[in-house]
Structure 1
Amino acid sequence: MTRTVAELVGLLRSSCSMPRGPAQIAVLEKVIREADALRYTDLALDARMLATSAYLEDDEPSKAFATFWWCVAAHDRTKSEHGCRNSLLWCFKSIIMALLGLSEVPLHHIHGVLDDMERRYRAAGFGVNAVHQHRWYVADHVGDAVAAAEQYRLWWATPRDQLSDCLGCETAGRVEHLADVGRDEEAIAMAIPVLAGGLDCQEQPQRLLTALLPAYLHTGRLDEAADAHRRAYLSLREEHANLSLVAEHLRFCTLTGNHTRGLQLLERHLDRLDRPPSPSLDMAFSAAAAALLRRMAEAGQGGLPVRGRRNAGSRVADLEAELRDRALALAMRFDARNGTSRQSDWVHAVLAAEPIVEHLPLSGLLPTTRLTRATPPAAQVDPALSAEELADLAERAARKHDDRVAAAAWRRFDEVCPDPSPELLARSLDERGDLIADDDPAAARDQWTRAAALFAEAGDEQRSLTALSRIDLLEVTTAPSPDAAVAAVATLRARVDQVLAVAGPEQAARALGRLSHAQRTVGRFAEAIATLERAAELAGAAPASELHAELALRLADALAASGPENLRQAIDHARRAAECFGALDAREGQCQAQLLLGHLHTAAGDLHAAAAVLRKAQASDDPEVRAQAYHQAGRVVAAQGRVEDSHAAFAWAVAEFAAAGNPVGDALARVDFADACLRLERPDDAADALEDVSPRLERTIDPEALDRARFLLASAYRDLGRFAMAIVVFEELAASRAATADHGGVGQAHAHIAVVLAQQDRHHEAAQRFHRAADAYAAAGQPLAEVENRRRAALAWHRANDLERALQALDAAATKVGLDDADTTTSWHRAMLGYDGAQILADHQRVDEALARVDPVIPLFRSIGATGEAVAAQTLSGRLLLSLNRKKEAAKVLRAALRQLPPEGDEQRAAIEELHGQATSR
């Protein structure tokens, strides 16, 4: 099909609103082909200018060179006054940088293009500020320090004009120069006012903030450096982020001891090396990545896997060698082209750079988390104790939940008794299996198996059976399926019966405690409670009071899990456990009981008591217990409306979960922390906290947590103005909700996307999204939510200047709220449909129809007590009557509006009084 000029122009214009990438390029190439065929030279020129930028952004410089030089030749050939001249001159800057990044382009050719650029700028009456800037880039690239200093001086001395980079980009280049030559204070002083003044370039402020990183680090401004990294990288997460800037952030992570963060960044952008934008950017990224991986390997992390599509199965050490060699090989190619060693020297410097600080906390979490919690003193064990006394001490400590003392006692045991008797070895294996069961169940099983055999050989049937019962319980908690877990419970029950036949009261009670744990695990709460009550009866004759505390703690947990009707009993037992552990000076057991008690008080709605007891639990020496106590405390104070306090508690929870090595707990705490940040209007901290939590949340059994994280992250991006990223994450949320047939959740996600689109004045797309939201709510059986979104779709169609679709959307919504629906909420929605319809019609000068829609809703708003809406409808009615010159009626309506206006409506009162004045004037 042959298109007309007008159709091709329309197609060209439509390409401007498309996302950059192959689809946009395909449209531009189509316009170029058809314009060439029809010999529409000006149109072909416009299309090629746009294509040049598109090719450069899509990492296809060779195509960009072809279209650019075609445009230059066409312009020179025709000497036309076509409006592309300034665009051509501007584009010289991008072409210079693209040529410089290709090692196969001779240096003399780049200098020739620079000379041509200067000649054209002067001939067109422009200054040469940008020319000196790009001569500086070339001099710096080849390592000519004298020429670079002179070009920097000329660049600084030459006035800016309309072909200069934006102030932010120009300042970023100057900051890079000053930082390179060690003038860090000048660099910072130059940048601060520019950052404070506001920047509207799409490359800012991330480029300027990135340029400041070395200066901040070298001058000891560590907080500013961390903040600049976080703020800048938020804009660099996208797939097509500037790879040289990403490389600088990798270097920053290496220099500040943030290897984990650096690895996350590396994994996110590593696939770019499959199709690098240019050899120079490939070199910069590879060098920075190799430096990071080298530090990780030196820290003993060389065997860690590096995730990413291009390097599935790669390890840190192997990838470090690959990227180091890659960077050095590329540097040698540039040096051969340039006749200097500048690029190889730079790569070697990056690879060898020493950390500036051992570790710089980067999180946007509360500053107190940057303080190091005092490490609990190492557990002290009396060096005079014998091996048997040490075994007794370790067993007593384990009963009090003091794993630190137990572990210390067993370490001392190994020193005192490297070759223990079979009985002592069996005791060691039995108790140590308990210490490692959570982290390494297979190793624990092996130790208990050996212990059981040794006890049996020694004739200690009770201890042998006890060790085997531990294995049986492990089979329950690690069972691959519910059926397997139930079968394992039956095995354990039989084993416990054997223990009961040979054990005394204390060991029998402990065996029943293990059985209750298994029963609770498979959801047999009534059986677990009955088993524990039986154990308590047996323990009544035992002198070991820590057993009473342990059974009370287990009973509290089982009662709480069995249902809300047993909550009060559970609280009583948890309190008794805490008191009993406290009387024994068993602080760790007491803290665990207090943690459970805090959860139970929360469930009972006694938030004050919950907060008080959770503060006590935070004194634990176990970072996992502290983390959970802080996390639950944050939720408690959040429920009390104390957002700042919840923010602080969640921050501590994140720090403690990290210290405990619990990535899932860390991720869950970050979600709550991000929620608090958004409530405190700190979206940057929220986005930073949620970065990369998804893989960890996928390990949880609660899919809601992952979707909540998505919602909060998308909301943070929206509040930061990162609209494209917000839409991507909201789309992920919609897909996740759709996968579980949660139509209401799908509707909510689409509605949020519509709002983001509307914020960008993309009202046509917003209207379509509101309709998708309405359809989803209809499928969910939520008619009022459907009505609300069809009404919002109508308003979006109105803003898109599509009256017909706006009215259709309103009419479709009206069918869902019939006159027979008398409840307040339905009446409000019905009235809003009339009010918005009147507004839309009024804006299209269809005054009579607008009046017919608005007048009936005034009494409807009044009938449900919606005074503000009623006044707004009366004001609109008065304005419409005035436009029809029905002043007497208008005055009456407006007087009624003034009488009903609430006292706080001063601004609205002035507008109504002005209208009333017009209605009463002659």
Structure 2
Amino acid sequence: MSFEQVQELMERAYSLPYGEARTVVVEEALRRAEEVGDRALIFDVRMALGTAYGYGGEPVKRFGTFSRCLAEYDADPAFYGARAAHLLLWEFKGIVSSLTDFPEVPLDRTRAVLDDMERRYKMGGHSLQAVYGRRTLVAKHLGNADAADRWFALWHTTPRDALSDCEGCDPGLKVSFLDWRARDEEALAIAEPVVTENLTCTEQPQTILTQMLRVYVRSGRLEEARGAHLRAYRLLRSRLNELELIGDHVEFCARTGNEARGLEIVQRHLGWLDRAPNPYADLWFSAAAALLLRRVEEIGHGELTIVRPAAEEGAEPVEVAVGELRAELARRAEELAARFDARNGNEHQSAVVREMLNAEPLVEHLPLTEYDRAPTSVTVPSTPTGTVEAHADVHDLDALLDIGEREWQDGRLDRAVPAWLRFDELAASAELTTLQRARRTDAEGARRYGENDIDGAVAEWRRAAELYEEADDLVSRHAALGRVGALLCGQGQTGEGFELLNASAAYLDEHAAGTRRALAARLRLSGTLLNENRADEARAALDGLEPEAPLDAGEVLLMRARTFLTTGETDTAAPLLHKARELFAGIGEKGQLADTCLLLAKVLSHRAHQAAEGHKEILDEALGLLDEAVSSAREAGNAWLATVAHAERGSLLLVMERPGDAVPDSAEAVAGFTAAGAMPQATYARLDLAGAYYSTGRHLEAAEAAEEAMPVLSRLGDPDAFRRARLLLAHAQRELGEEQAADLFTELAGEEDDDPQSAAGLLEMAGEVLTALDKDALAAERFGAAADAFETAGDPYGAVRARRQAGMCLLWARRPEAGLAELARARAAIGGIPSDNPAAITWETARVGYDEARVLAELGRLDEALAKVTEAIGGFTELDEKAAAETATGLRDEIKAALENTE
């Protein structure tokens, strides 16, 4: 094992996220370094291992690596030098912070380490700013407010130096203290310049955003609180070492009316308690989860269960009732607090846990998304909008039944119910006729149907038919049985269902010809046939119907149009819909008008896709129809139609490349469909919303919406929509700088068996994500795979580009020889560029030559490097690429200077 091989292992480790995989690689590197026997190398790798333990969720192991390195340095400080001293002094901060998290570590030990830290800082002539910061945190842990205030004042006023925490972490720790002391204005002042920066260190921006959650809510900055939660939790959710901070997000959900999201977070991380990074993180998450579960019970969902992951391999997960788990986690937090109190000599941590367990909401509800609300465009009445009192002056039973029936037939069931309730009030002291009982039973069937109680509606309407027959009202009997038939067909009982439907239509045609009931029976039969994909029969059921009344004529036209749309005959359906729209608009029939406009807009949208000319004009007309559909549905009070119209308008605005305008419609659609319990429709609207968010630069919201849509799309078995959601998520994650984007791009590329060009593009994007995050070894692998795919696709331009990127990533990953070999493959790939494009050949040759010169210079092969960069300058100059030529000339001058220094 050589020094270089250990370095290669370390480079591999650096390309991995903190966690078990990275820790294992560094542990292997340490074993190999010990085989090499290089003391300095062993020291560096052991220090890196301590960091891996700390950020990988095993901080207790960090103590051992630190103690070993500190002892070795103290034994021979001259050998290890200033760099090792700096590393150790820096590590002191993390060690002190971790010591308080373990109740087994005596408090005197923590104080001794703090004193040693201060002694060493003074000996090195360093600022004590970081020391005062750690003394503040220890005092805070002990609940000693006076001491904490004194140390904080010193921390905040002492000048920073190279051993101070970074410009994100130092203010973040101060915010944590100020939050504890409820000094919100100071916290806001300290945090503001930090949270507006694009910090991307290991702990930021997620740490300071989390520490600001309570501050933002208490100070009324709810939009900042919303954004802080969404952004920070995304970055924390895969990191075991951040379990304590995840507990803060659970508390935030519990205290802002977001119990459902909080429950999801608890479910996702509950299993982490079996391998909590330290006892204090265990305590904090357990207490926050218990608070969340208490809130779930208080808002009426104590019947819910949560799945406890198996603690041991091979065991089965167990469902636990919310109340049972709450009590268990509360007890767990209290027992841990008692252990800390025993160590600390006070009861502060028990008081902290009690405060968490008994915490009350800070706000009633803080919406986390635009669709986290009831839809605003329409009201969805859960109870009738009218009351019995609205008909208090009506004493005639038949008049009340007439009112209710009229409202019902006009589609205003919410107005019908109060009349029926008033009827019931009077009927309690009256003797009803059989016909009155029949009509009231008929009405009850309508009410059950309106509540989606299909079985109840069928039972009531069957009973109404019996009573109508007893009352010798056979027209009403067949009307009721026709409704039963339609519902039975919807339940799959088509035999009896169509028998009843056909009998109803035939009887009413003969005995109630020209009436609204006869027309309704035919329309009901036609609609049911259409639902069974029997379009020709559905159309035939309307034969001979030519009503004169505008409402009746419009309904027949609308149904005929539907039959043609089902068979793809849009050109035939369109004029029927136009005529129906005119009729409904003329009589102010808003509900039917909205429905017709929706269908006509879909027809026009389809036509626009096929049109060679006039595409924009057709889409503009469709948009106007959807505007009319939205407003008409609102006026009609039809929540469902309004929601559908918003969804269609949002989708159309996306097609028209107006994503900013699409956002409100798609958000409204998600809210409306969710309120109606229509999860598939809500999911598709959410996918549109994710696309609109992404196109308007709202990448965080795009990622959240796409992630919410993906599980449902997977269950729905819609591979195209599922892929679209994952692509949107990957692109949003890329913009957010999240490493998961690379994994998702790679996963998507693996599904492109028949399209190597698409696979290559996705792999190239994965490489770009990784290299932006300095994961150069992994990036080189992705670029290499992309180049292979480009070559398979016959794309020499992509192949050259990807090979060149792979070569440079290998250089940055300290593998210059491998990088040079990859650049040689890039040069060979230039031969695939068509000879009729000499400018591209010259450009790519110059770029590859420039990169080869950089790698050769790194390898010390300066003469070869000079030849390559000179070639590159010639190519750039030939193409009049002045900026590139100047850059290459600068590299040439550096190489020449290096050559002169070696002579």
Q: TM-score, normalised by structure 1?
A: 0.80
Unmatched runs of 5 consecutive residues or more in structure 2:
311-316, 609-617, 812-818, 855-867, 891-903
3-state SS in 2 of match to 1:313 = strand
2:412 maps to a residue whose letter is D
Mapping for residues 727-806 of structure 1, pairs under 5 Å: 727-734=742-749, 746=759, 749-760=762-773, 765-766=778-779, 768-769=781-782, 772=785, 783=793, 787=796, 789-800=798-809, 802=819, 804-806=821-823
Which residue in the other structure is 2:414 paired with? 404
Mapping for residues 248-647 of structure 1, pairs under 5 Å: 248-306=248-306, 309=309, 313-363=319-369, 375=379, 379-380=385-386, 382-385=391-394, 386=396, 388-417=398-427, 422-437=437-452, 440-445=453-458, 447=460, 470=483, 473-474=486-487, 476-477=489-490, 488-489=493-494, 492-504=497-509, 505=513, 506-507=516-517, 509-531=519-541, 533-534=542-543, 537-538=544-545, 540=547, 546-563=551-568, 566-582=569-585, 585-605=588-608, 606-619=618-631, 620=634, 621-647=637-663
1:623 maps to a residue whose letter is A
Determine if contact 1:400/1:586 at 8 Å carries over to the other structure: no
Distance 1:470 1:746 in 2: 54
Q: Which shows bigger deviation, 340-349 or 321-330?
A: 321-330
Determine if contact 1:557/1:570 at 8 Å carries over to the other structure: yes
Deviation track 1:454-499 (CA, whole Å, cap 9, x = no partner) reads 66676766666665655554455455xxxxxxxx556544443333
Q: TM-score, normalised by structure 2?
A: 0.82
Deviation track 1:743-770 (CA, whole Å, cap 9, x = no partner) reads 7765554343233234446566446435
Seq. identity, %: 34
Deviation track 1:197-228 (CA, whole Å, cap 9, x = no partner) reads 55342212222222222222222222332233
Cα shift at 1:36: 4.2
User: Cα gap change, 1:124/1:238 in structure 2, threshold over 3 Å: closer, same or farther?
Assistant: same
3-state SS in 2 of match to 1:314 = strand
Distance 1:449 1:845 in 2: 88
Deviation track 1:89-128 (CA, whole Å, cap 9, x = no partner) reads 2222222222211222222222222222222222333232
Distance 1:75 1:610 in 2: 76
User: Cα gap change, 1:32/1:639 in structure 2, threshold over 3 Å: closer, same or farther?
Assistant: closer
Distance 2:712 2:665 in 1: 21
Cα shift at 1:51: 1.4
Distance 2:340 2:156 in 1: 28
Determine if contact 1:623/1:657 at 8 Å carries over to the other structure: no
Cα shift at 1:140: 1.0
Cα shift at 1:715: 0.9
3-state SS in 2 of match to 1:379 = coil
User: Cα gap change, 1:798/1:731 in structure 2, threshold over 3 Å: closer, same or farther?
Assistant: closer
Determine if contact 2:647/2:665 at 8 Å carries over to the other structure: yes
3-state SS in 2 of match to 1:167 = coil
Deviation track 1:331-384 (CA, whole Å, cap 9, x = no partner) reads 222222222221121122122222222222222679xx8996685896335344
Distance 1:430 1:496 in 2: 17
Which residue in the other structure is 1:484 paired with? none
3-state SS in 2 of match to 1:325 = helix
3-state SS in 1 of match to 2:802 = helix
Determine if contact 2:752/2:759 at 8 Å carries over to the other structure: yes
Distance 2:496 2:823 in 1: 68
Cα shift at 1:59: 1.9
3-state SS in 1 of match to 2:686 = helix
Determine if contact 1:515/1:528 at 8 Å carries over to the other structure: yes
Determine if contact 1:472/1:491 at 8 Å carries over to the other structure: yes
Determine if contact 2:104/2:343 at 8 Å carries over to the other structure: yes
Which residue in the other structure is 1:178 paired with? 178
Q: Which shows bigger deviation, 489-498 or 335-344?
A: 489-498
Distance 2:96 2:721 in 1: 49
Distance 2:760 2:321 in 1: 42
User: Cα gap change, 1:230/1:760 in structure 2, threshold over 3 Å: closer, same or farther?
Assistant: closer
Cα shift at 1:808: 4.1
Cα shift at 1:27: 2.5
Distance 1:612 1:698 in 2: 34
User: Cα gap change, 1:356/1:238 in structure 2, threshold over 3 Å: closer, same or farther?
Assistant: same
Determine if contact 1:45/1:71 at 8 Å carries over to the other structure: yes
3-state SS in 1 of match to 2:365 = coil
Which residue in the other structure is 2:6 paired with? 8
Distance 1:778 1:397 in 2: 69
Cα shift at 1:188: 0.9
1:334 maps to a residue whose letter is F
1:247 maps to a residue whose letter is G
Distance 2:758 2:423 in 1: 58
Which residue in the other structure is 2:894 paired with? none
Distance 1:624 1:308 in 2: 38
Which residue in the other structure is 1:61 paired with? 59
Deviation track 1:432-472 (CA, whole Å, cap 9, x = no partner) reads 343233xx545555555655666667676666666565555
3-state SS in 2 of match to 1:300 = coil
Which residue in the other structure is 2:88 paired with? 88
Distance 1:503 1:432 in 2: 24
Determine if contact 2:286/2:329 at 8 Å carries over to the other structure: yes
Which residue in the other structure is 1:45 paired with? 43
Determine if contact 1:492/1:515 at 8 Å carries over to the other structure: no
Higher relative contact order (CA 8 A, sep 6+): 2
Unmatched runs of 5 consecutive residues or more in structure 1:
480-487, 820-826, 847-876, 885-889, 898-904, 916-922
User: Cα gap change, 1:626/1:699 in structure 2, threshold over 3 Å: closer, same or farther?
Assistant: farther
Cα shift at 1:567: 1.8
**Number of residue-to-residue matches in the alignment:** 831
Determine if contact 2:57/2:240 at 8 Å carries over to the other structure: no
Cα shift at 1:790: 2.8
3-state SS in 1 of match to 2:391 = coil
User: Cα gap change, 1:546/1:624 in structure 2, threshold over 3 Å: closer, same or farther?
Assistant: same
Deviation track 1:258-307 (CA, whole Å, cap 9, x = no partner) reads 22332333333333223212121111112222222222211112223436
Cα shift at 1:726: 1.3
3-state SS in 1 of match to 2:306 = coil
1:556 maps to a residue whose letter is A
Distance 1:775 1:425 in 2: 75
Deviation track 1:542-601 (CA, whole Å, cap 9, x = no partner) reads x7x6444433333323322321xx223323333444444455554333323333333233
Cα shift at 1:718: 0.7
Q: Which shows bigger deviation, 170-179 or 511-520?
A: 511-520
Distance 1:37 1:880 in 2: 44
The CA RMSD over aligned residues, in Å, is 3.9
